[in-house]
A and B are shown apart, each in its own frame.
Chain A
Amino acid sequence: MNIREILLASAAALCVGLPVSASADTSDKTIALSNNYAGNSWRQAMLTSWNKVTGQAVADGVVAAADAFTTAENQVTEQAAQIQNMILQGYDAIVLNAASPEGLNGAVKEACDAGIVVVSFDGIVTEPCAWRIAVDFHEMGRSQIEYLAGRLPDGGNLLEIRGLAGVFVDDEISGGIHAGVEEHPQFEIVGSVHGDWAQDVAQKAVAGILPSLPKIDAVVTQGGDGYGAAQAFAATDREMPIIIMGNRHDELTWWKEQKDANGYETMSVSIAPGVSTLAFWVAQQILDGKEVPKDLTVPFLRIDQDNLEEGLANTEPGGVANIEYSQEDALEVIQAAM
């Protein structure tokens, strides 16, 4: 197939896709995953989920191929070259976790101009021709207060554990928490520390601030810091507050122990690495000719008291709770954004 044929074919695909008939076949389509980094457990789980779900999809004949590529170095220029290579290799869609929200726009535009569907997730790109599956960190913070308002209708004192100072994610989650507190004025944030999303840092920070604080009714967190907070509280004679967890294995394990011992109740929320598979299905749906809004939101993976055991079973030691998404999940997410 030369470039002209590809362009004709994609033009034809577009023409077929535009009418309402959403039954175009994607069995001859190829999808590539462009990933900029694989050096932590979250990214490893993301790649494993991708291979598992797309391997099945290829075996079932839903798509012809779904190859994953990771750049050798976490650099914008490397990933831009990688995307341009994918254009040359003639993929029909590129699913992208981007090294920079802006730096890849040139390469993404090239891909769009070649008739390729680009779906970015987690690390999204701002180029208007690409689809974005973004994480609503603000809502993630707000939902914690929402949950606490249900548990503690009379309100109470909150301790906030923040993430790494100066990082956009930290600002967003914290902003959501504060917005939640404004909605539910019965709560008051009496102390705030930076836990850097790591349990040892969080433990030290919480242990340091605790003596100066009144009774704490609940701890709002950003994930990765719940277990450390629990350890800090356990070392004092204070009553254990409701600590919101962040789906990490150590947090869920501790919660399970407490639940079995004294019926401790809380909830846990984070983003599943399996979101890569959601992006895959969204790309498949777009190739199938479905009308999909450009901006979608990743659903949170929330673990509650009754599905704790199930969540823990899906979490590797040292890792984050994970789920793989299905075609139906993708349709739901698309429906929600319509």
Chain B
Amino acid sequence: MNLRLPSETVRLLIPALSLTALLAAVFWLQPRAMSYIGLNLLFNLAVPIALATIAQMLIMAVNNLDLSMGAFVSFVACVAATFLHDTPLLGWLILLAAIAAYAALGVIIHLRDLPSIVVTLGMSFVWTGLAVLLLPAPGGQAPEWARWLMTAKPPLVPMAIVASILIALVGHLIVMRSSFGVLVRGVGGNERSVERAGWSVLAARAGAYGLAGAFAVAAGIALVGLTTSADANIALRYTLLSIAGVILGGGEFVGGRVSPIGAVIGALTLTLAGSFLSFLRISPDWQIGAQGAILVIVLALRLLLNRLENRERRR
């Protein structure tokens, strides 16, 4: 490679290319998708996944992992379909309390030096339990404004695309361009040096968790806006989808190396992979495996690129 691209851009290259390739394949298989309505149908379910992926990315930026993401988004969906619809004020209070609980989790994990995987796995049962208490049977109704937001039809570009770009931009500004973002990534990269420089790691971790909670709340509301009602297990898949989305988008499990734009692209790619396989008429027995294969291919490509990058550097 003669072009000296910043490593951040190289990091985004593979996810962007895989999304483009997949999109081209889908358009070729199903030309109908190449329209305003088509794009919206392809991507609207990716919007809540993208929000959950950004939330997961914030947790991964401080070298933690959140295994309660799916359960938490389900819980938020249940709150949104019940309290937020019937008594908005109480609904918002509950959601604010949930965000505060997320920040508190960050504090506990930091102070007691607990493994985040264990704490969040435990919390996933708490969130699911609360969700079942709220909605023992599927039901509830989405708040009017959430429904309106998710089914809005802006001119020229479908809502799903507008929302994805917006999420990526906001995520980028917070994580890559603000001092808080630098601090959070610093905690992931080298906790001790951040501490020595006089910053509070505790505040950074609590902030990252709280912000993740806020994005997860947005994911739950967006999901209910799409489905019009909720059930206690509606988003269980989001835990793994969000982790896969971050990794697919160029993030890493440790070192504070994350990319919000990449994460959104990763979420879109995962959603698109499902549609692609279904358009190919692959039997459902093989679909999970095939979805895994797509993941492996993209990750292998990235590994290859990383090697090339390192070799360039050594020269």
Contacts and interface: CB of A to CB of B under 8 A. Distances in A.
Interface residues on A, range: 35 or more
A84 B42 contact: yes
B226 A80 contact: yes
A71 interface: yes
Interface string B1-45: 000000000000000000000000000001111011110011011
B229 A72 contact: no
A1 B44 CA distance: 23
Interface string B50-75: 00000000000000000000000000
A3 B37 contact: yes
A73 B275 CA distance: 14
Nearest to B135: A102
A84 B272 CA distance: 12
Contact of B41 (A75, A87, A103): A87
A77 B45 contact: yes
For B31, B45, B278, B287, which residue has the most chain A Cβ atoms within 10 angstroms?
A: B278
A81 B275 CA distance: 8
A82 B278 contact: yes
Contact of A85 (B229, B278, B291): B278
B191 interface: no
B32 A75 contact: no
Contact of B234 (A72, A76, A87): A76
A168 B137 CA distance: 9
B274 A81 contact: yes
Nearest to B42: A88
A166 to B, nearest CB: 9
B275 A72 contact: no
Nearest to B46: A81
B45 A102 contact: no
A176 interface: no
Interface string A65-93: 00101111101111011101101111000
Nearest to B34: A2
A106 B31 CA distance: 24
Interface string A256-293: 00000000000000000000000000000000000000
Contacts of B139: 102
B227 A2 contact: no
Interface string A103-121: 1111101100010000000
Contacts of B150: 106
A2 B284 contact: no
B280 to A, nearest CB: 11
A189 interface: no
A111 B233 CA distance: 23
A102 B237 contact: no
Contact of B230 (A6, A70, A82, A103): A103
Given A69-B278, A168-B137, A109 B228 contact: yes
Contact of B228 (A87, A88, A105, A114): A105
Contacts of B140: 102
Contacts of A67: 281
A38 interface: yes
A106 B81 CA distance: 13
Interface string A217-256: 0000000000000000000000000000000000000000
Contact of A89 (B30, B226, B233, B274): B30
B240 to A, nearest CB: 11
A130 to B, nearest CB: 13
Interface residues on B, range: 35 or more
B115 interface: no
B278 A114 contact: no
Interface in B272-301: 274-275, 278-279, 281, 284, 287-288, 291
A105 B227 CA distance: 6
B138 interface: yes
A102 B278 contact: no
Contacts of A6: 32
B228 A81 contact: no
Given A73-B288, A77-B235, A102 B229 contact: yes
A3 to B, nearest CB: 5
B32 A103 contact: no
Nearest to A75: B237
A26 interface: no
Contacts of B30: 88-89
A90 B237 contact: no
Given A69-B278, A77-B234, A85-B279, A3 B228 contact: no
A85 B275 contact: yes
A65 to B, nearest CB: 11
B189 to A, nearest CB: 34
A107 to B, nearest CB: 7
Contacts of A104: 227
B237 A103 contact: no
For A77, A80, A100, A105, which residue has the most chain B Cβ atoms within 10 angstroms?
A: A77
A104 B226 CA distance: 9
B228 A106 contact: yes
Interface of A: 1-3, 6, 38, 67, 69-73, 75-78, 80-82, 84-85, 87-90, 100-107, 109-110, 114, 127, 168
21 contacts: A3-B32, A3-B36, A69-B284, A72-B284, A73-B288, A76-B234, A77-B45, A77-B227, A77-B235, A80-B227, A81-B45, A84-B41, A87-B41, A89-B279, A100-B138, A102-B138, A102-B229, A106-B150, A106-B226, A106-B227, A107-B226
> Lowest 3 CB-CB distances: which A-B pairs, in order?
A102-B229, A72-B287, A105-B228
